[in-house]
Amino acid sequence: MIPVLIILLYLAVVALVGGVAFRRGKSNTEDFFLANRSVGEMVFFLSLFATNMTAFAILGSSGQAYRQGIGIYGLMASSSGLVIPLTIFLIGTRLWALGKRFGHQTQVAFFRDRWECDRIGTVIFAVSALMLVPYMIISIMGGGTVLAHISDVRGTSAPFIPYWLGCAIVALVVTLGVFLGGMRGTVWVNILQTTLFLCFGLVAVLTISHALPGGFGEYVSKLGGDPQTRFLVTRERMPPQAFWSYTLIPLSSIMFPHMAIMCFSARRVTAFKRTVILYPLAILLIWLPCVFLGVLGVATLGKVGDPDGILLLMLEKYAPEWLAGILGAGIISAVMGSDAHQVLALSTMFTKDVYQHYGGRERYGEKGAVYFARAFIVVITLAAYVVALELKAKQGIFEIAIRYAFSGFAALAPVMVAALFWKRSTKWGALASTLFTAGCLICFALLQHYHRPGDVIWQIGHGKEAIKVLFINPRGDVSFWNGFMTVVPMVFGSAFCMLAFSLLTRAPSRQTIEKYFSSKRPQPTPLPAALAHTSS
Amino acid sequence: MRWIKPALLTLLVAVVYVLHQDFWNWRKFEPLVLGFLPVGLAYHAGYSLLASATMAVLVKFAWPVHLEDTLPYDPKKPGPPDPHS
């Protein structure tokens, strides 16, 4: 009961912050979607980090570590620690500047202007929105599951907060926060959320180590000494091809609409400095304890029904109830921090890229756009909630969709790189790249649907020397050439499409190229001739 | 010689990227760093610190200073022609 009370208190604070932000807000889209581009340095870091961290960072990472071992940290966390800050440094800063100079509030608004295109922008919008929606749905599903888990009184089967109510609470609090506070409310809440889940790992490790007799080293040696569990503390069952492939996945981060939109909201470009340096450290703080404890769960708890709940089970066993509540709030923070940004991003995209672009502003003005955005937030969250309830049994489908969405957004990264750094890139290159990405996603989804894990679709040679060119890996993912992930052909194929189709088609007008590639440093006003003479 | 700094920084990023593939730790878990962290996990924890240090170097030596002078958008100023109108 105590954990539930703590979490409900936390949720009340989140809703309250949304209300306060509502009073501070103005009725224009710049304020509602981007907090008037006024987010300060530390808040920017905390908020950007919360935008990118989902429940997966805590529950999924420990669950995967329970299944696959310590390699999960190198596979998903340490590569992200380099690639994500690098993309924020190279792309995020440029996006921020273009947003400030030309008033862009979404990636699509930038693409439309950069490549003088209309419908192609709409295609990019549609593909991005379609890849983002499952992410949002699964956030609500994750929230419902976590609340049900945490409120499950020890020894009983009926949780105090059932799944449907947990989903409703998360959806309601997120909606209230975003509906009332917009970006301002969301980033304020992120300060609390990121602080909570950054502390989570350290507190969990200290608590559990205190409760374990003999210390961690003994358990790790035990796992390493047993041939059945040795793979958990090494990477002997992890294909090096997959390990390398995963270094391309973090390219998706900057292409996620909620991350790009967040980049537009900084007050000054210097806010990015602290963010890119602290980002790898924040990843370390969250992922290292979760992965380590996930592996340790095998030694301490043995076989469990739901590996994604391993951390919650360990907390239940080794932490006092009040602490489990605070840690539970940390997990819910991770769920809601990213979910709020996803809802806000979808609302921003629909309002700016569809509603306003196709005449909404002329007809109903800026205030009308904010009303539209708020109505959209309610509708999309309600729809996500209904889907989360109706398709609970098919949660796996959404998880697969998200896995592919990461590859899909990573494959769109060449579009952004070309838009920012290659003058000669064209809208046809962008269209080819986007359609290639969408086509790959559909093909891989069909392959996965019609084949079972372990199926080899195309193989060269026989026996031990055989090369599996196209197959479904034991986890059920489409893989290439003995273990490379789908993200590899998608990123390189998309880059090739961008290059080839741009070279084959006409470049944008000189006026547009000058607009985006002329020197951005304002020139000093020349002194009048007489004054110049005097001063010399 | 203006190319030396960008070349060195590009090389730094490339080396750090390659260091992620620590094939030499693939099949071993000992020594246990700090008495409990398997060596492969400790290596990648250290890699996160290296990534942070790399970003600090980039911020110090490759920061896009020109972006700090970006002038804010003024909707009243006539902008470039809208290609959709």
Which residue matches tokens 């020890």?
A154
DSSP state of A353: I
CB count in 10 Å sphere of residue A468? 18
Give percent of chain A with pLDDT exceeding 90.
35
CB count in 10 Å sphere of residue B16? 18
Distance from CA of A159 to the nearest CA of B (A): 36
Q: How far from B50 is each of A157, A277, A449, CA to CA, in Å?
A: 46, 10, 41
For residue A514, what is the nearest residue in chain B, using CA coordinates? Answer: B80
Q: Give the span between the Cα atoms of A365 and A371, in whole angstroms.
A: 10
Test A291 with B25 for CB contact under 8 angstroms.
no
pLDDT of residue B14: 97
Q: Give the span between the Cα atoms of A132 and A143, in whole angstroms.
A: 17
Test A280 with B40 for CB contact under 8 angstroms.
no
Which residue matches tokens 């935008």?
A51
Nearest 5°: the CA angle B28, B33, B36 is 90
Q: Enumerate the H helices of A212-320 as residue ranges.
A: 216-225, 240-245, 252-255, 257-264, 271-301, 310-318
Q: Which residues of A touch B41 (CB under 8 A)?
A: 70, 73-74, 233, 288, 291-292
Test A82 with B54 for CB contact under 8 angstroms.
yes
Tell me the three state secondary structure of residue A532.
helix
Who's near A429: CB < 8 A, 6+ residues apart?
A: A418, A497, A498, A499, A500, A501, A502, A505
Distance from CA of A506 to the nearest CA of B (A): 15
pTM, entire model: 0.89
Judged by phi (left if over 0) then psi (alpha if -120 to 50, else beta), residue A461 lies in left
Tell me the three state secondary structure of residue A519.
coil
A22: confidence class by pLDDT, cuts 50, 70, 90: confident
A378: confidence class by pLDDT, cuts 50, 70, 90: confident
> Which of A91, A233, A356 has the highest number of chain B CBs within 10 A, making it the mutation to test binding with B?
A233
Q: Which of B30, B69, B84 sits opposite A224 (nearest CB)?
A: B30
Tell me the three state secondary structure of residue A458.
strand
Q: Which of A70, A99, A117 sits opposite B40 (nearest CB)?
A: A70
Q: Which residues of B touch A86 (CB under 8 A)?
A: 13, 55, 58
Test B52 with A70 for CB contact under 8 angstroms.
no
- List the structure tokens of A419: 């838009």
Name the more confident of A430 and A387. A430
Test B40 with A288 for CB contact under 8 angstroms.
no
Give percent of chain A with pLDDT exceeding 70.
93
Look up residue A188 and give its amino acid. Answer: W
pLDDT tens for A260-316 read 999 999 989 999 999 999 999 999 999 999 999 999 999 888 888 778 788 888 888
pLDDT of residue A536: 33
Mean pLDDT of chain A: 85
Name the more confident of A276 and A364. A276
Which residue matches tokens 């190279």?
A90
Q: Enumerate the H helices of A155-265 as residue ranges.
A: 163-211, 216-225, 240-245, 252-255, 257-264
Instruction: Tally the C-alpha atoms within 13 A of residue A48's C-alpha that lie toward its C-beta.
Output: 34
Q: Give the span between the Cα atoms of B42 and A19, in whole angstroms.
A: 44
Who's near A496: CB < 8 A, 6+ residues apart?
A: none
Lowest mean pLDDT among A184-188, A210-214, A445-449, A529-533: A529-533
Cβ contacts below 8 Å, chain A against chain B, sum to 162
Q: Which of B35, B63, B73 sits opposite A100 (nearest CB)?
A: B73
Which residue matches tokens 């004054």?
A531
Distance from CA of A338 to the nearest CA of B (A): 22
Residue A534 pLDDT greater than 70, yes or no: no
Q: Which residues of A touch B29 (CB under 8 A)?
A: 70, 220, 224, 230, 233-234
Q: What is the SS3 string spanning A66-134?
A: HHHCCHHHHHHHHHHHHHHHHHHHHHHHHHHHHHHHHCCCCHHHHHHHHCCCCHHHHHHHHHHHHHHHH
Q: Which residues of B touch A77 (CB under 8 A)?
A: 44, 48
Q: Which residues of A touch B54 (CB under 8 A)?
A: 82
pLDDT tens for A480-529 read 988 899 999 999 999 999 999 999 999 999 999 999 987 644 444 444 44
Test A270 with B44 for CB contact under 8 angstroms.
no
- List the structure tokens of A219: 């358990």
Which residues does residue A480 pair with via DSSP β-bridges, in sequence order?
A470, A484
Which residues does residue A15 pair with via DSSP β-bridges, in sequence order?
none
Q: Which of A85, A99, A233 sits opposite B51 (nearest CB)?
A: A85
Q: Which residues of B touch A224 (CB under 8 A)?
A: 29-30, 38
Test A240 with B16 for CB contact under 8 angstroms.
no
Rg (chain B; Cα; Å): 22
DSSP state of A354: I
Which residues does residue A459 pair with via DSSP β-bridges, in sequence order?
A468
The answer to whether the CB of A158 falls within 8 A of the CB of A313 is: no
Q: Which of B49, B71, B83 sits opposite A522 (nearest CB)?
A: B71
Closest CA relative to residue A261, chosen from A375, A330, A178, A331: A178
Q: Which of A89, A288, A511 sits opposite B58 (nearest CB)?
A: A89
Q: Give the span between the Cα atoms of A386 and B26, in whole angstroms.
A: 45
Who's near A445: CB < 8 A, 6+ residues apart?
A: A400, A404
Q: Give the span between the Cα atoms of A130 and A32, in whole angstroms.
A: 23
Could you give the ipTM of this predicted complex? Answer: 0.89
Closest CA relative to residue A424, chosen from A316, A362, A507, A331: A507
Q: What is the SS3 string spanning A326-340?
A: HHHHHHHHHHHHHHH
Closest CA relative to residue A262, chosen from A316, A319, A341: A341
Beta strand A484-485 with A478-480 is antiparallel
pLDDT tens for A34-61 read 777 888 888 899 989 988 887 677 778 8
